[in-house]
Chain A
Amino acid sequence: MLRSISVERLSSDWSEHEYDLAIAAVGYERRARYIFETYTINARIKAAAGFPKQQVFEFQENSNWFEANGFAVVTVSDHDYGSWLASRIALAPSISGRADKDSIHLIIDISSLSRVRIADIITTLRSSVVHHEIVVDFVYSLAAFTPPPSNQSPNTHVGPVSKAFAGWWEEPDRLLSAVVGIGYEQDKALGAVEYLQAQDVWLFQPESVEKQYTSALNLANEALLKTIDSRHHFSYRVHDPMDCFSRLRSLVDGLAIKSNVVLLPFGPKLFVLCSLLVAAGRDQIAVWRVSAQTDEEPVNRIGSGHCYGLTVRFQAPIAND
């Protein structure tokens, strides 16, 4: 049985919590260790998973840092990531001494995770076999501005972010609505909308404390922005993911009454997280990604000093009588 989800604001004292499990990503960007390096996170189990490809820039330094700071570091493929995470979660109640408690508490840094892995995290948490409620603080380090990549490698994947988020249309010939979180890669959102042949398009545009993103976003999406009615165009504050989640959910709830909905979360990973949380467990909503995958040009992003997040409760399954 899959768990239901509730989403809350991340409390301001999140870094002082006692966690049962901390999950980090060993990526190639400096930002991958920013949160755990900046905050002293108290967690009984610490685990970090690296990517088998694109081990460039800070990958080795990140790996060394996590190892030196009490993380069990492994390199896992996307295919194995969900089962690796499930095994860490399964260990948490006993190792943390919470086997007889109601809930276990996780912190997961999504800053350097791929969309595929964030989706797998949601899927894994929803289907976790542990008996406890699982409370996860998803945290995110906003990157300092770097210009968008000048070269875009050809896409090798345009489709559902994972099988679990492919959605399911009860009426395949209904209107197709695309809800797009725009990013700053040139015309990527426009291309995705056109590829899907969506007839109804809604935009979510991030507003960030890193002001350079705003002009880059407007430039990269100029053609799309010109074609979208202002009533279909929302801004969201990257520093207020709860508000973003609420607005996204209420829009999608309304759209799903009479259309099939595909979410296209470009831009900050927090919007990816919000999209996945909105779609989780709802067949009439799909989440897609557009990616050159390992051909994408790596960029060594660094943390801007701003951290945000969401708390998500994956409620314990109700036992059958």
Chain B
Amino acid sequence: MISRGPSVFESINARALTPSQVAQTFVPSSHFVELCRRRHSIVLGPRGSGKTTLLKMLQPAALEAWQHADAQDIANTIDFTAIFVATDISWSEQLSVIGLGALEPEFTQKLALACFTTHSLKAVVTAFQQRLGSRHTTVQRPVRRVEIKPSVEALIVSEIAKVWRIEGIAPSFYSLRQALTRRLVDIRELGSRESSLSTTGRQERLASTAYLHLPFLPAAASAIEIFEDALEIPEGKWAYSFDELELAPEIIQRELIQSIRSTDDRFLFKLALNPFTTNTYLLQSALSPAPGQDFDQISLWYAEKRVAHSFCNDLWRELARQSGVPDWSPRDVLGASYFESSEEDTESERGAYAPGSRWAKRFQALAGKDQTFRSYLDRRKIDLQKLHLMDEETRAAEVRKIAPIVALREFYLRGDNLDDQALQSIRSRKTAALYTGADSIFSLTEGNPRIFIGLVGSLLLTARGRTSSTVPPQIQAEQLLAASEKFLATLRTIPVEKTNESSGVGVLNLLRSIARYFHDDAVKDEFKAAPVGGFTIDAKTPDGILQVLGQALNAGAIIYVPDDEGKVILTSLRGKKFRLSYLLAPIYGFPIRMGRDIALSRILGIQQTSPLASDSLALDFQEKD
């Protein structure tokens, strides 16, 4: 096999990157500017939406290394020190099985809490070290730097060690970090030892281990106070930033959410979460403090595709710079979308619909084989020979509005009626070619940085290796299909809880049922100007299906379309409107635009009100994608 350079897995996940590595490629969005405000923030977004990157970029070391044109201005607005606390799903699994399942839940939780506290305190030490910086590192700008003498470092470390119950370490921040790492090992050993001991006396044994009982936020606050006092610097703001907070022990989640409403002004909290949670603490939180008053909600998704395009253009420029391609525009490289007028057509809007134009041919072709479209034209009194003669307003309302649906439908009905064979070929490159072109590809990425970098980055590398700037549609289609299939593989893997109401229903097969409904409504059923493109989760949707939908939302496979911009934390999906991720479109062939929405129960063929027995779901939940 030919070497292809670093794996995509290495380049598009910020979790393991150092702050300066994250800064090297960071493209600021309006979300980052919001996050930089001196306010509590809750950042909500599905996988890959850039939560980790945003939080990591708040750190002094990242801001110091950042070279973007806006870097200085943005860095100047930040008047707090960020403390970044990472977590991940594998660590979360480990915390849940401390003591190999042999301990009572209260003790397992106690030890998990001690681990998380230790990990979070280590992040405080990292933040101190970033404030002190390294004399040997070249930086773009110093950010919140402080000078320290060795004797002061020794004083700070020894005082913090007393508070954190650490003994016998050298008086350096490095040693303090190492001691906390060892503490994590000690807690694991403690759990294992306890699992083999009698429960008698366990309470007393654990009570006598002082560090297990360190209160999380006061322990951090004390260390910060010692740091600031010893260095004789004014009391500052510290932004405790927690990534993937839903993976932290619930007691930590509660404490942080409650702290948002506290009056202690030493800390700001920057919390990154999935869009959907069933945890009641957030429900309480959502009901109590008003978002916007106590904290800012920053949602990293775009219900309306056009809103993401500005950020996509910024990402494009940065990727192009990194790829070493000339100053080519997305249009130069990817061309026009199948669903929009081509360059030559748009020379004159009128010309785009004149007889013989691409669009006029599509309208004619569809009318030639689709009786329902002809009926639609008759009802609307649209003469295909005179599209170009309509006044602009009428053409916009009657023609341009339906043009993407005509294009999609004409594509699928080309040659034959749609049949099973056509369905089988749905994954072909030919089908994916429908969604090529700059505009469509930007829409398909949903403004999700991980998807964008993975897909567009590889297209730019392809462009760099070619003699002309243009990447042909068939190559775009290949890479588009690969991105969609990778997304499907992730969706297929997400574990579902087995309930009576959702037995046999996984994330992927539920989405497929919805996607096929959208496809059929746009392509197979009677022609309509606004086919179904969204769904509302109604009362008939069983609870078990709701859980699956929650996972789909957190994976970015369904997109919340809020009716009230002020509330984006979702503690219940019922009554809310969603659309499918457009990244699924190359597989299932549905329009990439907001359409009509209908009740989910109608899509799924559910007759009665929830709760519902599993065998009454009239769904074809087969995994064949």
Cα A151 to Cα B621 in complex, Å, equals: 10
List residues of chain A with CB within 8 A of the CB of B87.
Answer: 172
A200-B1 in contact (CB<8A): no
Known contacts A158-B493, A290-B493; is-contact A153 B10 (Cβ 8 Å) = no
A192-B493 in contact (CB<8A): yes
B622-A199 in contact (CB<8A): no
List residues of chain B with CB within 8 A of the CB of A259.
Answer: 16
Does any Cβ of A come within 8 Å of B151's Cβ? no
CB distance from B455 to the nearest CB of A (A): 12
Closest B residue, CB atoms, query A173: B86
Known contacts A163-B100, A167-B94, A230-B1; is-contact A190 B507 (Cβ 8 Å) = no
Within 8 A of A (CB), among B485-499: 485-486, 488-498
List residues of chain B with CB within 8 A of the CB of A226.
Answer: 482
List residues of chain B with CB within 8 A of the CB of A201.
Answer: 7, 9
B489-A170 in contact (CB<8A): no
Chain A interfacial residues counted at CB < 8 A: 56
Residue among B87, B495, B497, B509 facing the most chain A CB atoms (10 A cut-off):
B495
Find A156's partner among B3, B47, B498 (CB 8 Å cutoff).
Answer: B498
Cα A163 to Cα B99 in complex, Å, equals: 9
List residues of chain B with CB within 8 A of the CB of A195.
Answer: 89, 490, 493-494
List residues of chain A with CB within 8 A of the CB of B494.
Answer: 155, 158, 195
Does any Cβ of A come within 8 Å of B6's Cβ? yes
Known contacts A190-B489, A201-B7, A223-B489; is-contact A154 B507 (Cβ 8 Å) = yes
Cα A176 to Cα B10 in complex, Å, equals: 10
Does any Cβ of B come within 8 Å of A212's Cβ? no
Q: Mark B468-494, 1 if CB is under 8 A from A, else 0.
A: 000000000000001001101111111
Cα A176 to Cα B119 in complex, Å, equals: 17
Find B493's partner among A191, A199, A227 (CB 8 Å cutoff).
Answer: A191
Does any Cβ of B come within 8 Å of A55's Cβ? no
Does any Cβ of A come within 8 Å of B181's Cβ? yes
A154-B505 in contact (CB<8A): yes
List residues of chain A with CB within 8 A of the CB of B498.
Answer: 156, 295
List residues of chain A with CB within 8 A of the CB of B47.
Answer: 197
Closest B residue, CB atoms, query A155: B495
Within 8 A of B (CB), among A155-201: 155-160, 163-164, 166-176, 187-188, 190-201
List residues of chain B with CB within 8 A of the CB of A168.
Answer: 94, 184-185, 188
Closest B residue, CB atoms, query A288: B90
Does any Cβ of A come within 8 Å of B136's Cβ? no
Known contacts A154-B496, A199-B15; is-contact A223 B7 (Cβ 8 Å) = no
A197-B495 in contact (CB<8A): no
List residues of chain B with CB within 8 A of the CB of A172.
Answer: 86-88, 91, 119
Count of A-B contacts judged by CB separation below 8 Å:
152
Q: Mark B85-107, 1 if CB is under 8 A from A, else 0.
A: 01111110110010011000000
Closest B residue, CB atoms, query A154: B506
A156-B497 in contact (CB<8A): yes
List residues of chain B with CB within 8 A of the CB of A193.
Answer: 9
Closest B residue, CB atoms, query A198: B9
Find A174's partner among B16, B486, B493, B495 (CB 8 Å cutoff).
Answer: B16
Does any Cβ of A come within 8 Å of B69's Cβ? no
Chain B: interface secondary structure?
Answer: helix
B181-A223 in contact (CB<8A): no
B7-A232 in contact (CB<8A): yes
Does any Cβ of A come within 8 Å of B253's Cβ? no
Known contacts A172-B119, A230-B3; is-contact A200 B495 (Cβ 8 Å) = no
Does any Cβ of B come within 8 Å of A233's Cβ? yes
List residues of chain B with CB within 8 A of the CB of A295.
Answer: 498, 504
A262-B90 in contact (CB<8A): yes
Does any Cβ of B come within 8 Å of A106's Cβ? no
A197-B509 in contact (CB<8A): no
List residues of chain B with CB within 8 A of the CB of A192.
Answer: 493
List residues of chain B with CB within 8 A of the CB of A199.
Answer: 9-10, 13, 15-16
B4-A229 in contact (CB<8A): yes
Cα A162 to Cα B270 in complex, Å, equals: 34
Does any Cβ of A come within 8 Å of B2's Cβ? yes
Q: Which 10 A-B pairs have the closest CB atoms?
A: A154-B506, A191-B493, A187-B489, A230-B1, A191-B489, A175-B16, A194-B490, A173-B86, A172-B91, A163-B97
Please give the residue numbers on chain A whose beta carbons come within 8 Å of chain B beta carbons, in ascending order.
150-160, 163-164, 166-176, 187-188, 190-201, 223, 225-233, 259-260, 262, 283, 286, 288, 290, 295
- 23 A-B pairs with C-beta separation under 8 A: A154-B623, A155-B496, A156-B498, A157-B495, A163-B97, A166-B94, A168-B94, A171-B181, A172-B88, A173-B15, A174-B16, A176-B15, A176-B88, A187-B488, A187-B492, A188-B493, A191-B489, A194-B490, A199-B9, A223-B482, A223-B489, A262-B90, A295-B504
